[in-house]
Structure 1
Amino acid sequence: MSTTATGPGPRWLGGAAQLAVAGVLALVVLPVGWTSVVEGEVARPWRWALLAALAALHLAVATARRWPVASFAVGALAELVLVTAPDLGGPTATAAGSEYAPVLLPSSLCFFVLLYAVSAHAARPWPTAALVGGLVGCLLTVVRLWGFAGTALESWTWWLMLSTATVGGTVAAWALGRFRATRAAWIAQLAEQGAADERRRIAREMHDVVAHSLAVVVSHAEAGRLVVAQSPDRASGILATIAGTGREALTEMRGLLGVLRDDEAPTDPQPGLADLPALVERMRTAGLTLEYDAPDLATEVPAVPPGVGLTAYRVVQEALTNVARHARPDAVVRVVVDRPADALQVVVTDDGGAPAVAAAPGRGLTGMRERVEAVGGTLETGPVASGWRVSARMPV
């Protein structure tokens, strides 16, 4: 199992930023610590151990983005060497007024960077384990520096300042890392939700286009099989309707596929209220008995948002497709479009008997409801008298 949590953004960019941080820290604080150890008048084994610990700290910072847990472990061991090593003497100690513990070297600040990295980029339970390890390190540092005499502060003031600085820095670095990890997870969840919503939207569009077009094509094909033998002159009209329906479906599907491919070329506009009369006429040609009651959509209906217009069109399309598939052949369908104040209402009723989808709503009714709710509207579907009713009301 991976120990790192992937955050947003290019991975190479995160690695480059981490290398930049490591480089700045090495240039600013490493020369001081390195010189202090070399001139620190300690035994040679300790000198080599301290130099190795300083180098390990800065190298761990450089690799913390890619291997946060391993880098933190290396840094923690290096800090342990600095805490347990004997006091340093030499010119730096003379300038400070007394010998001092190596943990006071500026390179110890690298530990906070390592703690941030493991809390931001490592998977559970490593962030919590790193915090516990950091707090234990704070305790060891306070104990190690308890009697430090290189300051004019009183003992209790020095103890309070030291405890606040170590614990506060540790908790702050850990909290910043957890904030970064939480933010990255939240952004990733939003992206996944957006992708899921887009997949559902495309699935609804594909269902509406394919189901409607196939319903028209199948009904014409069945009618043609029965009537062409007796009236060959009607064959051209039936075939023309099938071809026109297929072309329309292909046009809409090309638009959807263009969105999936992220084409820069403009796609055909989505249908809206102005296309309802053509839809009704096409379904009449397919064999449905239709009554259409709507004001003049070009002059009497105020403009509605494109999303609301598309939703109204798809609701009528899906409702008529369900009638063609589930109702009796002699069913009479009534489509009513109304424009009350601040709303658009579409009602489709038929007297063809309650369809089987009444007991178990399928993808069509579910997608219809999702469409309407997405624009802030409400959808009511169910049997009425001897037929079925679909009513959608959407704010505009």
Structure 2
Amino acid sequence: MVLSLLVQVPAGVWTAAHAPGHGLHWRLALHLALAVAGPLALLAARRLPGPTVALVSAFALVDVLTAPVYGPPYVALAFAIALAVARGAVIWAAVSVATGWATAILVGVAIGRIWHPGLIVAATVGLALSFAVGAFVRTRGARMAQVRADAQRRRRSAEERERVRIARELHDVLGHALSQMNVQASVGLHLFDRDPEQARAALQNVKDTSKLALEEVRGVLGVLRDGEVPLVPQAELAELPRLIAGLTTPGLEIALDDRLQGTAPSRATQFAAYRIVQEALTNAVRHAQAGHVRVVLERRDEPDPVLVVTVTDDGRGFAGADPTVSGRGGVLGMRERAALLGGGVDVGDGPEGGARVVATLPWGRAS
């Protein structure tokens, strides 16, 4: 609007003052009014782009027919066309411009005006460029809106993945801790009168497990606060004996067969393997009704080095049912952990009965 006023008002005054013939005052008043009316009409282009371009086209038509043939261009019309096309009022712009253009040619011929071909070509090119600018702005706006929508979807997807990761960590930590505390509390109650020392040790295990679980939960939730790091180090394979000792009871024997010969895979692989073993043992304690569980750690080098973790028990197994829907929680979590590293988890019935969990994880860079 400001640019149109700065161009059209001085040009309109100059045109009216230098036009041949009489009637300077009415021509000056008319061209000054048209020079102001067109730019002011652009104020409505945001809410009413279609009617605005039609009104500005009418003002431009009157200006063209009353000004000299080689008068200044009506700049407000170019802005009105571009704004209308950019806001989707393409039909309004096309109809208004075509009507004004045809009327200018026909009325001009009727009143004896001679339109130079070069002038017609220049005006047509100018109008076409106005449409092109409007189309470019509209396309760019749509592209930017799509980019923003994609970014928002990616942000929501990242937030969802983070929520799933935190939920998986909390499930593993709390599920194992509560199962372990339930086992040790049951042992303590069972031995409370017969063997007070063993009962006291079981209750001490409950205390230690709850303390460690609280620290791990704080560590998991610490990622929700900017700049906060976990309060405890991530679990490694070296922590498996402590994990197994906390779950071993007089009615459940858990054996660890470590065949790694002192070598260790990458930290990420160790953490995933620890959580998978933790979940498998928790399921064995809660669901399998097993008396013996065996955990085997081994490295295989064909074709690429991998860590193979096998957890078997002599419980009731799955009886051929799908482990993901058979009531044992955490199976999907184990598979997700392995998939994030490019590995996999096979869960099903063992060859000799009971359940078997086999996790294959890439070895990665040794730590």
1:300 aligns with 2:263: yes
Query: Runs of 5+ in structure 2 lacking a partner?
Result: 17-26, 109-113
Q: Shift of residue 211 of structure 1?
A: 0.5
Secondary structure of 2:300 counterpart: coil
Which of 186, 202, 207 is 1:222 aligned to? 186
Secondary structure of 2:358 counterpart: strand
Q: Does the 8 A contact of 1:87 with 1:99 survive in 2?
A: no
Q: Shift of residue 142 of structure 1?
A: 5.1
Secondary structure of 1:293 counterpart: strand
Deviations 1:101-153 (A, max 9, x none): 6xx3167336536754x5xxxxxxxxxx4444455455456546768978772
Q: Does the 8 A contact of 1:294 with 1:337 survive in 2?
A: yes
| Alpha-carbon distance between aligned partners in 2 of 1:300 and 1:265, rounded to the nearest angstrom | 27
> Match for 1:187: what amino acid?
A
Aligned to 2:281: 320
1:78 aligns with 2:91: no
| Alpha-carbon distance between aligned partners in 2 of 1:141 and 1:346, rounded to the nearest angstrom | 81
| Alpha-carbon distance between aligned partners in 1 of 2:344 and 2:76, rounded to the nearest angstrom | 64
| Alpha-carbon distance between aligned partners in 1 of 2:179 and 2:135, rounded to the nearest angstrom | 65
Aligned to 2:111: none
Deviations 1:138-194 (A, max 9, x none): 545654676897877275x44763464233223212111110111110000000000
Aligned to 1:98: 70
Secondary structure of 2:194 counterpart: coil
Q: Does the 8 A contact of 1:348 with 1:391 survive in 2?
A: yes
Q: Aligned pair in 2 of structure 1 residues 33, 363: CA closer, same or farther (>3 Å)? A: farther
Structure-to-structure mapping, 1:218-367, within 5 angstroms: 218-264=182-228, 267-284=231-248, 288-296=252-260, 299-301=262-264, 303-304=265-266, 306-330=267-291, 332-341=292-301, 342-355=305-318, 358=323, 359-360=325-326, 363-367=329-333
| Alpha-carbon distance between aligned partners in 1 of 2:289 and 2:231, rounded to the nearest angstrom | 37
TM-score calculated relative to the size of structure 2: 0.78
Q: Aligned pair in 2 of structure 1 residues 229, 309: CA closer, same or farther (>3 Å)? A: same
1:370 aligns with 2:342: no
| Alpha-carbon distance between aligned partners in 2 of 1:378 and 1:254, rounded to the nearest angstrom | 29
Aligned to 2:63: 88
Secondary structure of 2:276 counterpart: helix
Aligned to 2:19: none
Deviations 1:305-335 (A, max 9, x none): x3332211111111000000011242x1111
| Alpha-carbon distance between aligned partners in 2 of 1:161 and 1:274, rounded to the nearest angstrom | 78
Aligned to 2:40: 55
Aligned to 2:10: 35
Aligned to 2:358: 391
1:212 aligns with 2:197: no
Moved more, 286-295 or 318-327: 286-295
Larger Cα-atom Rg: 2
Q: Shift of residue 72 of structure 1?
A: 2.6
